[in-house]
Amino acid sequence: MSHGQHGSDATRFGPEPTGHSRRFALWAPGVETLTLKLAPSKGASFSSHTMHDDGEGWFSVDADCAPGALYLFQLPDGRELPDPASRAQDDDVFGASVVIDHATYQWQNAEWHGRPWAETVILEVHAGVLGGFSGVRSYLAQWAALGITAIELMPVNAVPGTRNWGYDGVLPFAVESSYGTPDDFKALIDEAHGLGLMVFLDVVYNHFGPDGNVWPAFAPSFFTGRDTPWGNAIDFDNPNVSAFFIENALMWVNDYRLDGLRFDAVHAIDNDGFLNTLSEKLQAAAGERRHLHLMLENERNSASLLETAYTAQWNDDVHNVLHHLLTGEQEGYYSEYAHAPTEKLARALASGFVFQGHETNDGTPRGESSSHLTPTAFINFLQNHDQIGNRALGERLITLTDGQALHAATALLLLTPMIPMLFMGEECGARQPFLFFTDHRGELADAVREGRRAEFAAFSAFDSKTARNAIPDPNEPGTFAASFPYDQPDENWAARYKTLLSLRHQHIMPYLADCRFGEARVLGDGAVVASWHLAEGRQLTVAVNLGCDDVEFSLTRAGLLYQTGDVGESGALSPNSCTVWLEHTS
């Protein structure tokens, strides 16, 4: 097969076993010659191997080596760089790549085929904050006992330094060495499967981080030359570029046996052809027996991607309108939801997105009609890494709003058909912040710190330099340490989540396979009633009031599933309350 055509799913990037040797291959059309530097082990001397140029930009060479060997690619100018498709790094992203053998890990739960999407309750976690892969493993049993069915890891790809959210990755095939080895990651996934937990992973294909990206040296044509907020735009029209990311996704699914991937900010990819091909390749690799779930973050609200290619999308619309109703905040992107927020919430509960071709504040239409989709095509949440960590001080919602209101919103989240997602610590009432942290050095560290503080200059709380200087420095180790969420868990909050999730497991999950949107209407300021049609003639209804006043609504005991707040003699829906019914309609 020609390297220029992606005609199969065979590995082409990175060391590939060929009998007793390995073939090292790299697409590097930006250089005239390339040399493989190879050492049998750490501390041993490196030997040089001239790589063959096939005339289409691909260089390759066969060399004898075993797992544990270290290697680099030497450019004509003498620079020695790691493999862009490195499966592991000896230390940081600037050092040597390590040859590994994915086939040697002995899976203990090899017969695991995943869980149906309707059974999904996601907990988003950051592996580094919890102590790496072994640290995450220590929480799995208690999460499963609570009713969580899937953990979603923020990116675990290699990043500069040891403290990073993961979205600054530059070597997407390599796991971050400070979290553990590839086998340590497999052991985490393996143990999760043994507990009935799916494991999802965030992957970032829309950009590379600002430090350590080696592709410009090997292949300037990897990029378009167009500027984006994250740097030079990636050229997904180039077949070798798209093949690189498709192979990466296939590695996570095949070699690590992940149950799903969440694709970060695909609105920045803006290439639906690539996204559809990516989905097709992954679904084909998973086969018919295996449950594989593919999730999107997509500000474009492209409902068409959810019709066949992707399982679900993070629904920022629901978060944003609920956050405004809970906190009153209307700066930044919350300004889009401050006008008629109750109507916007009703629209989202009745049909998915808030913006379905509707105009934004600047008059630009956004989104596509989504009412024809199943409600489970939407992942709803009250908090995630972005919505907490992109706040200047990383505050959690529990510190920003009334406890009764948060209880009502949590019931709305967990007892509606849309797939719920929590953020680590949310499930036990954590009050510790989750802050933005990095581990950059020198001028880049200064630029990141000052750039982050400048981002908040337009916010009223940070309009003075003194206030902005109080924003934690992302590069300080203490910023990372302060983000650990499990110092003081609140048993009352944990019990509440366990009750709500038990109700979801028993009364809602079994009937989501044939779920459809129903209707929603506004009851008053901040108050909405919505219903959904479930399987076997069931109708789920939720009435929520996040406003300041009682609203007239006939509350009955028939089919009552859960209720927060007080109900007066009039039966009116009180402020900061939520009532949920499940009835048989046929």
* Residues annotated as part of the active site: 264, 297
Say how far apart CA 288 and CA 275 lie, in whole Å. 21
Per-residue 3-state assignment (H helix, E strand, C coil) for 425-446:
CHHHCCCCCCCCCCCCCHHHHH
Nearest to 417 by CA among 510, 544, 345: 510
Nearest to 245 by CA among 333, 173, 153: 173
Say how far apart CA 425 and CA 410 lie, in whole Å. 14
Say how far apart CA 259 and CA 444 lie, in whole Å. 36
- Radius of gyration of the chain measured on its C-alpha atoms: 25
Say how far apart CA 214 and CA 204 lie, in whole Å. 16
Say how far apart CA 574 and CA 548 lie, in whole Å. 8
- The residue type of 338 is A
Positive or negative CA dihedral for 329, 330, 332, 336? positive
- Give the pair of three-digit tokens for residue 429: 């009432």
Q: Decide: 584 and 538 in contact? Cβ < 8 Å.
A: yes
Say how far apart CA 423 and CA 129 lie, in whole Å. 13
Say how far apart CA 164 and CA 292 lie, in whole Å. 27
Q: Please count the CA atoms within 13 angstroms of the CA of 342 that sit on its side-chain side.
A: 15
CA angle 381–180–105, rounded 5-degree value: 100
Say how far apart CA 531 and CA 354 lie, in whole Å. 17
Say how far apart CA 504 and CA 428 lie, in whole Å. 18
Residue matched to tokens 């973050």: 297
- The residue type of 191 is E
Q: Decide: 332 and 459 in contact? Cβ < 8 Å.
A: yes
* Residues paired with residue 16 on neighbouring β-strands, in sequence order: 23
Say how far apart CA 79 and CA 76 lie, in whole Å. 7
By three-state DSSP, how is residue 188 classified? helix
- Give the pair of three-digit tokens for residue 318: 């629901």
Strands 527-533 and 538-545, bridge-based pairing: antiparallel
Say how far apart CA 545 and CA 559 lie, in whole Å. 19
